[in-house]
Amino acid sequence: MDLSALAAQNPDHWRRAACIRTLTLDAVGAANSGHSGMPMGMADVATVLFEKHLSFDASAPDWPNRDRFILSAGHGSMLIYSLLHLTGYADMTIDQIRNFRQLGAITAGHPEYGHAKGVETTTGPLGQGIANAVGFAMAEESLRARWGRKLIDHYTYCIAGDGCLMEGISQEAIGLAGRHELSRLIVLWDNNNITIDGAVSLSDRTDQKARFAASGWDVFDCDGHDPADIDRALGEAKASPRPAMIACKTHIAIGSSAQDTAKGHGALTDPKLIADTKAAYGWKYGPFEIPEDLKAEWEAIGSRGRAAREAWEAEFALQSATRQASFTRAFAGDMPPKLSATIKALKKQISETRPKVATRKASEMALEVINPIVPETLGGSADLTGSNNTKTADLGVFSPEDRKGRHIHYGIREHGMAAAMNGMALHGGVRPYGGTFMCFTDYARGAIRLSALMGVSVQYVMTHDSIGLGEDGPTHQPVEHLAMMRATPNCLVFRPADAVETAEAWELALSQKSTPSVLALSRQGLPTVRVDHKTRNMVAQGGYVLADAEGKRQAILMATGSEVAIAMAARDLLQADGIGTRVVSMPCWELFEEQPEAYRKRVLPGGPVRVAVEAAVRFGWDRWLFGERGKREKSGFVGMHGFGGSAPAEDLYAHFGITAEAVADKVKSLLK
Ligand SMILES: Cc1ncc(C[n+]2csc(CCOP(=O)(O)OP(=O)(O)O)c2C)c(N)n1
């Protein structure tokens, strides 16, 4: 490929793009690992985007109305690190670039949210970024409708590779964006025809442009190495009334001997290759060296948006004090102070009326009082709205006709929904929650894990949380999912026992700023077990004594969710036989684990027999059965030992032996 012609046509552009290419070569070379080819190939596109289109101010990375830039092809992380360094983000020093992929550096192997400013989301698991981008664009639409164009009015740009587009999640995202006419979303496809194994044709013959068009997008082409053509395509994409995809024809690892090959995808570390490639670029500077004139040009790009940002700040200052406070509160992720009193009032009412309701219904009852006072919530469901009970009376439905609608019909797209919710939460100003069946946490897993890894407060409303869902049978009955979610670091798993605990769980979940929550909710009606109103949020302690032993304490029953009522019934049986029995409700293990040792000891003292009751697999329960002063020979588990069955719930509980009688018998056998 004749690089000299390219360089000669647009010499200034060429030199600016070469900064990205050579920093990438140097950083990957120094780390002896990483991915050189993608940043080299997309350097021209990224340069034009940052220079001519992206509205941002490197000195104010958190400006709420900035355009968002998402590198879905996260393996090409040196692309974004180079851009952030060159444009003058304060934290992205040349030393950070030198320490690419090293311990303690903000230049992680793949872009990690929260490490470097300007990294809007964690990418690397291919396909997540493009699905996050859809959430960013939905948040922008929603916020623009709510706050007006003067405060929110921006684009979301996303660079995605062949890998992102092959991942199934991409179709969920593309379908969602097309339906919602997210015209502020622009995806730049790095159309280089190469993946790790070789040419794309080894594994795919999809007509990507036709696919996007079929889903309601406008599609554009450009020569990804011609700055004028890139600029034209970006201009057209911005003007399009639908989400836009630009197929950018590029050469991976351009200018190197590995150009257009799978070798070019990975780490180009051979010193001769690096030297030859730099020579082909006409680059005559040392490693990590950016000449002053070029750095100045880039920094001018980094401050191009300063005037717009300052104008925005002036506009913001003109808003009423109430509006400013409420905007700032929402972007800070804080709940309105009213939330606590609202939840207390609901709890009091429930404890007095003692309804027998499914916790999914109880969740709706909580949301009915939460949504009116927390206007930034954006609810939704993956086509199970009536089952997940996520849509409250005041929400309205989000659509191109009603951007103020706050309930989103995600369609049957659990993974896309979860990733979009991550994008919304990361955008800021909105608080997304979304529902599906608990068993389909599997389908959303890739994105739920990233909620936890990034530390974003997304609420997963996972209903139909056990065999208690009944006739739909084992395909729909989660047994291992609680364990999987509990095994995920930085994720709160709530399994409330009744409507009071559900209200408390919602308050806690929404109060988290950097932790997602899974609310595991029952399909079947559950009696109110919290019959004595307590203003204190008991779920906040994770586990607590719901009913204490009368007489000598011989047994402790631990249970969650729908099995708490079974434990209470077992306690009645045992007490009737003179066996003093305590019931501990454990709606959130993670919060219980955080309690001081002295508190945990009060709840779970050594000595008595312990039996855990949960309609799920035992995995994880040993921590509470044998740990915390428990003894193996004095403990037992009543729950599931395999998959469920297709029958009415009551029959299944009897069939699998999850009954008050079975629990009482287990205790008695352990007391012998
Ligand atoms: C979900 C997921 N699966 C696999 C990988 C490993 N991986 C990283 S890059 C890549 C190939 C991506 O090809 P493409 O998007 O065309 O990138 P390019 O070769 O153009 O850099 C793979 C399989 C990953 N990061 N994420």
* pLDDT per position as a tens digit, 265-312: 999 999 999 999 999 999 999 999 999 999 999 999 999 999 999 999
pLDDT the model gives residue 169: 98
Proportion of the chain above pLDDT 70, given as a percent: 100
Ligand 1 center–CA 204 separation, angstroms: 14
Residue of 140, 414, 501, 628 marked catalytic: 414
Question: Would you say the C-alpha torsion 575, 576, 577, 578 has a positive or negative sign?
Answer: positive
407's enclosing H/E stretch is: strand 407-409
Q: Which residues of 411-441 are buried (b: 16+ CB within 10 A; e: fewer)?
A: bebbbbbbbbbbbbbbbbbbbbbbbbbbbbb
Q: Residue 292: which residues within 8 A CB-CB, separation 6 or more? A: none
Q: Examine the pLDDT at 1 and tell me if it is beyond 90.
A: no
pLDDT the model gives residue 152: 98
Is 414 annotated in the active site? yes
For the chain, the average pLDDT equals 98
Picking from 305, 289, 247, the residue whose alpha carbon sits closest to that of residue 52 is: 305
CA distance 112 to 124: 9
Does 37 contact ligand 1 (Cβ within 6 A)?
Answer: yes
Q: Examine the pLDDT at 220 and tell me if it is beyond 80.
A: yes
Bridge-partner residues for 249, per DSSP? 191, 223
Return the number of other C-beta atoms located less than 10 Å from residue 87's C-beta: 25
DSSP string for 360-401? HHHHHHHHHHHTTT-TTEEEEESS-HHHHT---TT--B-SSS
Span 133-151, average pLDDT: 98
State both tokens at 362.
């109880």
Distances (CA, A) of 479 to 229, 439, 474, 566, 641: 54, 8, 9, 18, 9
Say if residues 251 and 21 touch (Cβ distance below 8 Å): no
Which residue type occupies 670? L
pLDDT the model gives residue 2: 83
Does 419 contact ligand 1 (Cβ within 6 A)?
Answer: no
Residue with CA closest to ligand 1 atom 19: 195
CA distance 564 to 529: 8
Does 74 contact ligand 1 (Cβ within 6 A)?
Answer: no
Please write the tens of the pLDDT for every residue from 3-20: 999 999 999 999 999 999
Q: Examine the pLDDT at 65 and tell me if it is beyond 80.
A: yes
CA distance 52 to 147: 27
Ligand 1 center–CA 163 separation, angstroms: 5
Say if residues 408 and 439 touch (Cβ distance below 8 Å): no
Which atom of ligand 1 is the closest one to the Cα of 128? Answer: 1
Does 162 contact ligand 1 (Cβ within 6 A)?
Answer: yes
Does 630 contact ligand 1 (Cβ within 6 A)?
Answer: no
Q: Which of 45, 75, 128 to mutate to test the pocket of ligand 1 (most atoms within 8 A of CB)?
A: 75
Which atom of ligand 1 is the closest one to the Cα of 160? Answer: 15
Span 339-365, average pLDDT: 98
**Which region among 3-7, 221-225, 250-254, 560-564 has the lowest average model confidence (pLDDT)?**
3-7
Picking from 124, 110, 52, the residue whose alpha carbon sits closest to that of residue 81 is: 110
Span 245-258, average pLDDT: 98
Does 359 contact ligand 1 (Cβ within 6 A)?
Answer: no
Span 338-351, average pLDDT: 98
Read off the pLDDT band of 596 (50, 70, 90). Answer: very high
pLDDT the model gives residue 479: 98
Bridge-partner residues for 185, per DSSP? 156
Q: What predicted TM-score, i.e. pTM, was given to this entire model?
A: 0.98
CA distance 667 to 285: 77
Please write the tens of the pLDDT for every residue from 398-423: 999 999 999 999 999 999 999 999 99
pLDDT the model gives residue 538: 98
Say if residues 262 and 196 touch (Cβ distance below 8 Å): yes
